[in-house]
């Protein structure tokens, strides 16, 4: 997967069981998290939700089909001092890759 900008970092997760409020990008008390690119791939139909890590408010929700993945650019920003958690709606293998930066 190409890096869109040299300063962007990758955050990856590959669970096989349903996850609730699982951290993927650590919070930084003096920054926002900006996510520039998301990639979700699964062998099971499910919904993946990205949330602010403290307040657990939704910043992105996406349905993922059971036949591969989707990758696309986004402009997601957390609340100040928040990281990013994720929740999956079902058991099943899923791969999550986020390109992000603190700002």
Q: Which domains does the chain have, with CATH numbers?
A: 9-102 (2.60.120)
* 3-state class (DSSP) for residue 38: strand
pTM here? 0.90
The candidate with the shortest Cα–Cα distance to 69, out of 5, 8, 14, is 14
In the predicted model, what is the mean pLDDT of residues 89-100? 94
pLDDT, tens digit, for every residue of 59-78? 999 999 887 777 889 999 99
């Amino acid at each position: 997967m190409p890096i869109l900008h040299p300063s962007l970092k990758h955050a990856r997760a590959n669970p096989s069981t349903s996850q609730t409020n699982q951290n993927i990008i650590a919070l930084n008390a003096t920054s926002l998290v900006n996510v520039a690119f998301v990639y979700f791939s699964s062998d099971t139909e499910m919904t993946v939700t990205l949330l602010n890590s403290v307040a657990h408010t939704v910043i992105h929700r996406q349905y993922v089909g059971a036949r591969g993945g989707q990758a696309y650019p986004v402009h997601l920003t957390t609340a100040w001092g928040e990281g990013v958690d994720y929740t999956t709606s079902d058991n099943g293998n899923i791969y999550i890759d986020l390109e992000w930066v603190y700002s």
